[in-house]
Structure 1
Amino acid sequence: MSAPRSTASVPDWVKVPYPLLMHSLVSFPAKHILLVTINREEYMNCLPTEATIELGHLWKWYDSEPEMRCAVFTGKGKKAFCSGMDLKQRLDIVNSKQVALEYPSGSFGGMANRTGKKPIIIACNGHAHGGGFELVLNADVIFASPNATFRLPEVLRGVSALAGGLPRCMNLFGNQRTMDLVLTGRYLSAQEAVSWGLIKEIVPLDKLVDRAIEYAKEIAELSPDAVVISRLGAREAWETGVSRATMRGQEIYADVMMASRNAEEGLTAYKAKRKPNWEPSYL
């Protein structure tokens, strides 16, 4: 278990200290970049209910902190990104007939059903099973180590994947591939996941997080307003369908984007042939 963070670990460019965490580590590898590491290596980085609540608060802080532009999410160690829910804790809750602590609006890990404003890049350093796979399925871009595997084993445990994984698999992979995964609980290798379009790149484990951070830096160098609005506009198709998303994107986002200071700065910099100086996003 990690020690609570101290305010001394917060860089001076962060306006508001991040929430207290006991099960994950937070660092800032570059300006505007948040690195979150699940710190339960001895438990294959499974998440008890308390860890999910902590991460739910953290992702909300990330979305609200103006200086934050991109996040990288990984797990501690060489075997697992996240092996899902802490099933021993869940069984204890069921047997005791107690009501479980309520999950945040983002569901498992605070992000399995997260919409949010800002991108989360996953550096999948091993197994992503059950809820861990559901986190991956709702990420924006995924890098993975060669030993990474993806799995929804719920049918083997007498339950079902109900944190968004089933409809997202269908959207991403289609009917037959989804049924193959969810009806058998089989492993999906990193190599197969690349061919299915889930993973952007397979990266050696010792270089995985650095590669994800470099990619996050590319995003952080862009207009934070444009990144937020482009992501939201694209994700509308995920939630509502392509035709409706196109209409909503034009209706809701276009005026806000074009009236922003960062839009003016981007166009001015282009005309002057210089690098833009972006302002924090307050969208």
Structure 2
Amino acid sequence: MSTPLTTKPMPPWISTPHPLITHSLITFPATHILLVTINRPEHRNCLPVEGTIELGALWKWYDAEPSLRCAVFTGAGDKAFCAGMDLKQRLELIETGEVAHDYPPGQFAGMSNRTGKKPIVVACNGHAHGGGFEALLNADVIFASPNSTFALPEVLRGVSALAGALPRVFLLFGNHRAMDLILTGRRLSVEEAHAWGLVKEIVPQEQLLERAIEYAKVIAGLSPDSVIISRLAAREAWETGVSRATMRGQELWAENMLRSENAREGLAAYREKREPVWKRSHL
């Protein structure tokens, strides 16, 4: 059983209620910021199928909620961000013949293959293994505690990392580093992950969440239209390759961005030598 969640009223600036969540804790640490904490520390924050479906619905709500501009994703406790799928449940599903991959389009944690509109910053507070690593690989920015490790141990369990990690480690790390990880299941230390460019900063555990939230505030303080469009245009390379991504970014988003209220506000603020006052994004 998960640790009981504390129900807190949503702040008045949230316009729509978030989906029912039973395996994660939802809070709003600052205006425009969503904080999602996987709340199964006694299970190293591994997720059952139900938990990952919930998060898929939550990220969809996050993208649609106009008052939210950046999310921070972390795990409860100081041992694990997410140890992946609940393997005991997976075995039960296999043995009973039930569907073992009834996941949302974003796949594991609703995130490992998520496209989405808005950024997700990860505060990795410990081990990110299996599906936890697959979800983290598709985050936008990652902060990690000194005890963090990263692994795709599926080959050690007779399965494979098929929720998005395999092409992502290849694109991020190159062929030989990717093969080192996926063919052995070994743990990547936080120091290696930082050297390889996966982790932005290694932050002491007691400061980790505060650092990630402060970083999210920086993003949330910018034009939401610019953040959404810049992120989508850059991430097109995951799907289409660099040259085609550049063309699609121009085709799909440039005109809408330049016609937006926030583009006018940003340029006017520059001309008038004042801080911009951003409007809600309607993208």
Task: Mark yes or no: TM-score above 0.5.
Answer: yes
Cα offset, 1:114, TM superposition: 0.1
Structure 1 CA distance for aligned equivalents of residues 174 and 14 of structure 2: 41
Q: Distance in 1 between matches of 2:96 and 2:271?
A: 66
Aligned equivalent of 2:157: 157
**C-alpha distance in structure 1 between counterparts of 2:151 and 2:270, whole Å:** 46
Measured after TM superposition, the shift of residue 3 of structure 1 is 4.4
Which amino acid letter does the alignment assign opposite residue 160 of structure 1?
A: S
Cα distance in 2 for partners of 1:47, 1:161 equals 15
Q: 2-side partners of 1:141 and 1:115: how far apart?
A: 14
2:184 aligned counterpart, secondary structure: coil
What TM-score comes out, normalization by structure 2 length? 0.98
1:86-134 residue CA offsets vs partner (Å, 9 max, x unmatched): 0000000111112246211100000000000000000000000000000
In 2, the alpha carbon distance for the partners of 1:35 and 1:99 equals 30
1:2: how far off? 4.7
* CA separation of 1:51 and 1:127: change in aligned 2, threshold 3 A: same
- Supply the AA of the counterpart residue of 1:233: A
CA distance in 2, matches of 1:98, 1:242: 40
The CA deviation string for residues 111-164 of structure 1, in whole angstroms up to 9 with x for no partner, is 000000000000000000000000110000000000000000000001100000
User: 1:209-228 counterparts in 2 under 5 A?
Assistant: 209-228=209-228
Quote the residue 2:99 is aligned against: 99
**CA displacement 1:204-259 (0-9 Å, x = unmatched):** 00000000000000000000000000000000112111100111111111100000
In structure 2, the partner of 1:252 is 252
Q: Which amino acid aligns with 1:9?
A: P
| 1:34 and 2:34 correspond | yes
| 1:159-187 Cα deviation digits (max 9, x unpaired) | 10000000000000000000000000000
Instruction: Give the structure-1-normalised TM-score.
Output: 0.98
Matched AA of 1:51: G
- Looking at structure 1, the residues matched to 40 and 116 of structure 2 have their Cα atoms a distance apart, in angstroms, of 25
- For residues 3 and 250 of structure 2, what CA distance do their matches in structure 1 show? 45
Moved over 6 A (4+): none
Question: 1:64 matched to which residue of 2?
Answer: 64
Distance 1:99 1:193 in 2: 34
Most deviating of 98-107 and 70-79: 98-107
Provide the residue aligned with 2:22 in structure 1.
Answer: 22
Amino acid in the other structure paired with 1:17: P
RMSD: 1.0
Residue 229 of structure 1 is matched in structure 2 by 229
C-alpha distance in 1 between matches for 2:195 and 2:26: 32
Code of the aligned partner of 1:88: K
Change over 3 Å in CA distance of 1:4–1:203 after alignment to 2: closer
The amino acid across from 1:26 in the alignment is: I
TM-superposed CA distance for 1:5, in Å, is 6.6
Is residue 117 of structure 2 the alignment partner of residue 133 of structure 1?
no
State the alpha-carbon separation in 1 of the partners of residues 221 and 137 from structure 2.
25
CA distance in 1, matches of 2:226, 2:4: 36
Equivalent pair of 1:269/1:275 in contact (CA under 8 Å)? yes
Rounded Cα–Cα distance in structure 1 between residues aligned with 2:196 and 2:113:
21
| CA distance, structure 1, for counterparts of residue 112 and residue 99 of structure 2 | 21
Distance 1:4 1:75, change over 3 A: closer
Q: Deviations over 1:41-70 (max 9, x none)?
A: 000000000000110010000000000000
Determine the C-alpha separation between the residues in 2 that align with 1:162 and 1:101. 10
| Alpha-carbon distance between aligned partners in 1 of 2:44 and 2:242, rounded to the nearest angstrom | 38
Instruction: Find the aligned partners of 2:219 and 2:273 in 1 and give their Cα distance.
Output: 20
| Separation of aligned partners in 1, 2:125 and 2:101 | 28
CA distance in 2, matches of 1:221, 1:244: 30
- Does residue 177 of the first structure (1) align with residue 171 of the second (2)? no
SS state of the match for residue 9, structure 1? coil
Cα distance in 2 for partners of 1:171, 1:246 equals 17
Instruction: Give the unaligned 5+ runs of structure 1.
Output: none
Post-superposition offset of 1:9: 1.6
Identity percentage over the alignment? 68
Task: Give matches, 1:175-214, under 5 Å.
Answer: 175-214=175-214
